[in-house]
Structure 1
Amino acid sequence: MTVPLSVCVFCGFSPGAGTRYVESARDLGALLGQRGHRLVYGAGTGGLMGAVAAGAAERGARITGLIPDFLRLREQADELPEQRLVLTGDLLERKRGMIDEADAFVALPGGYGTLDEVLEVISMKALGVLDAPLVLVNVDNAWTPFVALIDSLHERGFLRDPRVFSVAADPAEALTHIERHTARDRLESRPAVVHQ
């Protein structure tokens, strides 16, 4: 049986070029609902953000959206799926709130904001202040150049551990990875049984 997790999804407000990105986002949201997980995301209504929330809502997932006041004012006419909406003072507060709410992280392709969020989690993991898994969903090889950059920085001696994240081909593989990681962590953190 899968333990319910709060899964933070980082992704773009843009739909990207082509349909595969939006389809993957909707599939990820639907899988979160099917597997009993909660979606934590940036509360955007467009692009991949909107698609992941729509997929999650269709499958009955609990949803927590975090968004800065100034962005919500721009989008107030847009309808969000039913969710707990958290308004933040700025983008930094939103990012911190999303990280604090999450048991695990999944990143779909996105723009500057997505890269910023992913790098924040990677930095925290590399420094040992965060142990939650992070999986990049490599839709149409969108993350391949990023992974190559990380490998190059490692080869040049700037990174000790280049792989503080995982890469998955699709949303199902990403969720299976984080479920296994968190199940292993829970098993390892159980107190030992002492027989007398």
Structure 2
Amino acid sequence: MTIAIIDYGMGNVRSLMNAFEYIGEDAVVTADFDELEAADRLVLPGVGAFGDAMKAIEAREGLRALLDRLAMEDKKPVLGVCLGMQLFARVSHEHGTHQGLGWLDAEILPLDVAPPAKVPHVGWNAVSFSPDEWLFKGLPSGESDYYFVHSFHMVCQDPQDLIATTDHGGTVTAAVRRGNLTATQFHPEKSQDNGLQLLQNWLAHEF
């Protein structure tokens, strides 16, 4: 299986590569259209601000159109991580209003948390999910911790897209899924054994 981590200049690519290598999978960090086209699976990483990330994607001529086709027409499996997940949304309200990829009917809003929770949300949190959710196979709901770093969160318009939540001064989206699109707000590559198991589950799933 070939895994392509999309390189658009704003990704946590090294830690993702290390995680895939640790579980015995080869991943390439690339913005080469032929490599993205040939890959069996794509990973959309991201750190930083939503608007900057969309500008970075749009600045690479043809990249946005290619990603749209691969994800929405060809139905290639895509995993979004942290900001990469947020880019799946239709719109973000981070430092203004910015259009996203629009792959999910969702919007990105500021975290509005009750004390003593703080923003940004940085650290380990337990994640809750349905026991029959394949992405978390072999992991106990409400007992498995994952590593988060974010100040904004995704609100899905279709509740069926929401597959996992965490509690950080209120309920926060932790993972979403629709067809070939899967994404986590937390960093699986920084979540030790639980994150590695999740990556293995994603690779093993037949889309």
Same fold? TM cut 0.5: no
- Structure with bigger helix share is 1
- The one of the two structures with greater contact order (alpha-carbon pairs below 8 A, sep at least 6) is 1
Q: TM-score range by the shorter chain?
A: 0.3 to 0.5
- Structure with bigger strand share is 2
Instruction: Specify the structure having the higher radius of gyration (Cα).
Output: 1
Structure-2-length-normalised TM-score: 0.41
